[in-house]
Amino acid sequence: MSIVLRDSFIEMPARERARAILDADTFRELLGPFERMKSPWLPLQGVVAQADDGVVVARGRLAGKPAVVAAIEGAYQGGSIGEVSGAKIAGVLELALRDCERGAPVRPVLLLETGGVRLQEANLGLAAIAEIHAAIVALRAHVPVVGVIAGLVGCFGGMSLTAALCSRLIVTRQARLGMNGPEVIEQEAGIAELDSTDAALVWSLMGGEQRYATGLADVLVEDDAGMIAAQVRAAFDSVAASRTEQVERFVKRLASIDPIQPPEPAQLRALWPREAPR
Amino acid sequence: MEILRFTYPAARAVARRAHVGVVGSGDLEILFEPSADQHSHVTVTTSVEGFATVWKNVLDRFFTRFDGAVAIEINDFGATPGVVTLRLEQAAEDLRA
């Protein structure tokens, strides 16, 4: 696809992303910016708060079926999860669960663009992330939970666990997924461990293509809103076991690695092929 | 962080709301809502302190062209005056749309 014709999903803010994923004209935002569900903690620490706390939640339809989308705004505080933004995601997933339990399935989609917990809100953000995880695990018994990491923030920290819990995870080449982000690794372990300004190295380790090649993501897609939306719809037709249910497979994977002599990214692809014995 | 407040006279009521932008680096979020009285009220929360005069100049200029009675909330994360003006125009255009 030519660059000119591409409708970049990465360049869209969270609200546009949610709108682009849902069927045309079905987007209906819950707790929008005019409800002023802001972070009560950031202004106390001299940080300007955003009216929706950086998370857009919306009801709508996917291929005609009831759906709910939670989209994180990566440009606001690095997409970090605070008390309010985390509660919005957890709340919307819990409502979807309630609908599923009543026999009215709702398709949940998470548009992940986040550095993880918001450090200024620490434990409150972590508690919200735990609630998000509990809701995802409960929802998976009823309906696939689909995650998308488009970039350019990526998905890190506690929210990388959220991505791992998704039934299906869709990534672009520009996406990054990892527990610790490159800057954190450099700061904590030194530049000899990882030069966070070396983009080629960073993406070879935690980029979308590598995560897909090693089976840690399910779909690798171009940065195009229409193509990503199509993959989200297709993901709900899949019935494969989620990664976190394949404990033995992943324990074996860890055993295949010598942490004293960690493999190069290309070697890791051979050690951890994406095809799972399902 | 600094909070600034401004009031401007208005000539007509506004029925709609508008929301544009994001509190991201070099950008800002603006919310337009109908005002409760015959004036426009602007509340600016900005991460950059000491620019009250610049804010007043940018808003004075905007209100020479805009006469609706709106309550405006601005959440700023270091936007330049040019970006602020563009976002204000964008919100005003959304009100008309």
Q: Which residues of B touch A43 (CB under 8 A)?
A: 1, 45
Task: Check residue A52 and give left, alpha or beta (phi > 0: left; psi -120 to 50: alpha).
Answer: alpha
- Whole-angstrom distance, CA of residue A69 vs CA of residue A9: 15
Q: Which residues of B touch A120 (CB under 8 A)?
A: none
Q: Which residues of B touch A73 (CB under 8 A)?
A: 22, 24
Query: Is A269's pLDDT higher than 60?
Result: yes
Q: Can you give the residue range of the structural domain that contains B26?
A: 2-96
The mean pLDDT value of chain A amounts to 94
Encoded tokens for A18: 């949610």
Q: Are strands B12-13 and B68-76 parallel, antiparallel or unpaired?
A: parallel
- Total domains in chain B come to 1
Closest residue of B to A38, CA-based? B75
Q: Is 0.80 surpassed by the pTM of this model?
A: yes
Q: Which residues of B touch A13 (CB under 8 A)?
A: 22
Closest by CA position to A32, among listed B31, B14, B93, B75 = B31
Sign of CA dihedral A159, A105, A229, A58: negative
- How many other C-beta atoms can be found within 10 angstroms of the C-beta atom of residue A49? 24
- Terminal CA-CA length for chain B: 33
Secondary structure of B29-64 as H, E, C letters: EEEEEECCCCEEEEEEEECCCCCHHHHHHHHHHHHH
The CATH code of the domain that includes B43 is: 3.30.230
> A94 CA to chain B: closest CA distance, Å?
27
The 10s digit of each residue's pLDDT in A64-81 is: 999 999 999 999 999 999
CB contact under 8 A, B19 and A43: no
Q: What is the pLDDT of residue A5?
A: 76
With an 8 Å Cβ cutoff, is A13 touching chain B?
Answer: yes
Average pLDDT over residues A141-161: 96
The 10s digit of each residue's pLDDT in A210-243 is: 999 999 999 999 999 999 999 999 999 876 788 8
CB contact under 8 A, B22 and A51: no
Closest residue of B to A79, CA-based? B24
- Whole-angstrom distance, CA of residue A154 vs CA of residue A217: 13
Q: What is the pLDDT of residue A276?
A: 58
Query: Is A2's pLDDT higher than 70?
Result: no
Closest residue of A to B28, CA-based? A50
CB contact under 8 A, A34 and B33: yes
- How many other C-beta atoms can be found within 10 angstroms of the C-beta atom of residue B68? 19
Cβ atoms of B64 and B7 closer than 8 Å: no
Query: Is A3's pLDDT higher than 70?
Result: no
Q: What is the pLDDT of residue A278?
A: 46
Query: Is B61's pLDDT higher than 60?
Result: yes
Reported confidence tier of residue A32, pLDDT bands at 50, 70, 90: very high
Q: What is the pLDDT of residue A233?
A: 97
Query: Is A109's pLDDT higher than 60?
Result: yes
For each of the domains in chain A, give its residue range(s) and CATH number, in order of start. 14-241 (3.90.226.10)
Residue B81 phi/psi, 5° resolution? Answer: -55, -35
Secondary structure of chain A as H, E, C letters: CCCCCCCCCCCCCHHHHHHHHCCCCCCEEECCHHHCCCCCCCHHHCCCCCCCCCEEEEEEEECCEEEEEEEECCCCHHHCECHHHHHHHHHHHHHHHHHHHCCCCCEEEEEECECCECHHHHHHHHHHHHHHHHHHHHHCCCCCCEEEECCCCCEECHHHHHHHHCCEEEECCCCEEECCCHHHHHHHHCCCCCCCCCHHHHHHHHEHHHHHHCCCCCEECCCCHHHHHHHHHHHCCCCCCCHHHCHHHHHHHHHCCCCCCCCCHHHHHHHCCCCCCC
The 10s digit of each residue's pLDDT in A193-202 is: 999 999 999 9
- Whole-angstrom distance, CA of residue A138 vs CA of residue A134: 6
Q: Which residues of A touch B17 (CB under 8 A)?
A: 34
H or E element that contains B83:
helix B81-96
Length of chain A counted residue by residue? 278
Kindly indicate whether the ipTM for this predicted assembly is greater than 0.85, answering yes or no: yes
